[in-house]
């Protein structure tokens, strides 16, 4: 398997990816919410989970699996509504989570393994990522690329997309974490519900966007 992509193609693709990935969307809202609510570390781990899901879809696109999801309305809707249900579950979990005594003085404790899994599942259960790769990547393939060569190029472009998204999302996570730390004193002076409702609301907003 050989990759015939020229350096200019990769640069153009990376720039286009940065433009599309950098626009605030469900992933960015989720990552920023995590960083604001639980600190920079949780935001960074959320990025790793989300982009692991992106990498899975990139590989699935190269293997043709994403096309199967896109071609089947049933499969697409099953994955989509599983994702919606999971986001609603995250909102309910946030609202019903037991308050810790440390909440009043520090970031609310979260298990980073759970944070990673949440980000991974949120992205895996979003079939629109598959549609993004199917619509976007083929535009940058070498003319006449078919078969194994086309698969290799799709995989290479997918890797570029993941790396670009990783850099941009990490920037969002760090910036939101710093902002959250600055605002932390004001937030902790509010009630527990005032801290929980914005986080749960963000999850529900992402769920509504995924459903519609």
| Domain assignment present for 10 | no
Q: Is residue 8 part of a domain?
A: no
Mean pLDDT of the chain: 80
d(CA 104, CA 107): 8
What gap in Å lies between CA 191 and CA 196, rounded to an integer?
Answer: 9
pLDDT at 108 over 60: no
> Around Cβ 13, how many Cβ atoms within 10 Å?
21
pLDDT tops 70 at residue 25 = yes
Would residue 124 count as lying in a domain? yes
Say if residues 125 and 86 touch (Cβ distance below 8 Å): yes
Structure confidence at residue 169 (pLDDT): 95
pLDDT at residue 46 in the model: 96
In a domain, 126, yes or no: yes
Stronger pLDDT, 160 or 134, i.e. the higher one: 160
Question: Which residue range forms the structural domain that includes residue 175?
Answer: 25-211
> What local confidence, expressed as pLDDT, does residue 103 receive?
46
Q: Rounded to whole angstroms, how far apart are CA atoms 94 and 101? A: 16
20 inside domain: no
Query: Which residue has better confidence, 88 or 192?
Result: 88
Amino acid 138: pLDDT: 77
Q: Is 189 helix (H, G, I), strand (E, B) or coil?
A: coil
Question: Count of alpha carbons within 13 Å of 11, Cβ hemisphere only?
Answer: 3
> Dihedral through CA 75, CA 77, CA 81, CA 83, nearest 10?
60
Residue 16 maps to a domain = no
Best-predicted range by mean pLDDT among 43-47, 65-69, 95-99, 204-208? 43-47
Task: Give the model confidence (pLDDT) of 36-87 as tens digits.
Answer: 888 899 999 999 999 999 999 999 888 887 777 777 888 878 888 888 888 8
Whether pLDDT at 117 is above 60:
yes
Is residue 2 in some structural domain?
no
Question: The whole model's pTM is what?
Answer: 0.79
> Measured between alpha carbons, how far is 168 from 32 in angstroms, rounded to an integer?
12
Q: Compute the Cα dihedral for 64, 68, 71, 76 and give only its sign.
A: negative
Tell me how far the alpha carbon of residue 28 is from its chain's centroid.
7
Is 14 domain-assigned?
no
Give the number of domains in the chain: 1
Q: Reply yes or no on whether the pLDDT at 9 is more than 80.
A: no
């Amino acid at each position: 398997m050989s990759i015939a992509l020229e350096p200019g193609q990769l640069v153009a693709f990376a720039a286009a990816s940065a433009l599309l990935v950098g626009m605030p969307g469900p992933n960015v809202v989720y990552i920023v919410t995590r960083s604001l609510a639980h600190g920079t570390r949780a935001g960074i781990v959320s990025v790793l989970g989300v982009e692991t899901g992106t990498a899975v879809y990139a590989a699935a696109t190269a293997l043709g699996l994403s096309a199967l999801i896109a071609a089947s309305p049933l499969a697409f809707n099953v994955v989509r509504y599983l994702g919606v249900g999971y986001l609603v579950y995250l909102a309910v979990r946030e609202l019903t989570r037991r308050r810790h005594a440390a909440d009043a003085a520090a970031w609310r404790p979260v298990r980073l393994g759970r944070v990673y899994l949440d980000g991974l599942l949120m992205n895996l259960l979003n079939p629109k990522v598959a549609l993004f790769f199917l619509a976007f990547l083929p535009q940058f393939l070498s003319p006449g690329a078919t078969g194994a060569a086309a698969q290799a190029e799709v995989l290479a472009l997918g890797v570029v997309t993941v790396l670009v998204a990783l850099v941009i999302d990490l920037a969002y996570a760090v910036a939101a974490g710093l902002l959250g730390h600055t605002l932390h004193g004001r937030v902790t002076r509010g009630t527990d519900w005032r801290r929980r409702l914005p986080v749960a609301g963000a999850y529900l907003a992402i769920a509504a966007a995924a459903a519609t």
